[in-house]
Structure 1
Amino acid sequence: MDRNKNEQILVDGTLDVRGESCPYPELYTLDAIKNLESGKILEVIADCPQSFINVPESATRHGHKVISTFKDGSTLYFYIQVS
């Protein structure tokens, strides 16, 4: 599930929720997913430590596939394929 820093993932949308505290990154992610068609990939960028658990778990619980996660310092990246 983790990705190499050099790995490229083609995304269809990006949601930057840095500076937002939980539960907002999770809620905004679910809202952004609603705007994408099935099979599209959403990149979520967050810096709330709880997001590392909450965002992927919530996406999976709603039937979407977390294809990759990456942490760069305090910044978290999630790549979610919409179902």
Structure 2
Amino acid sequence: MCPNRLRAYLIGEPLLGSAVGEVVASRAEAVPVGSVVTHFLGWREYCVLDAAQAVVVDTTLAPAEAYLGPSGTTWLTAYATVTKVARV
């Protein structure tokens, strides 16, 4: 089977991509319950992941949904394109 990043989307499986969520249970001090985190493990109702796979975000700086757009991977894609590909 191909690595996740190369395989086709399958019916009934979560879509891969950046996601934002609230931590509802945790065994990691660095990621306490109630934290808002981003990860790249796909769109799903609940996700179990290692603390190293989550990035705690500050929702006092921007709302959680902004970390999927202007403060998240969309911004990073645009920045990389402008600075590395288009060399503006």
Larger Rg: 2
Q: Give the strand-richer structure, 1 or 2.
A: 1
TM-score computed with the length of structure 2 as normaliser: 0.27
Structure with bigger RCO (C-alpha 8 Å, 6+ apart): 1
The two structures have a TM-score, normalised by structure 1, of: 0.28
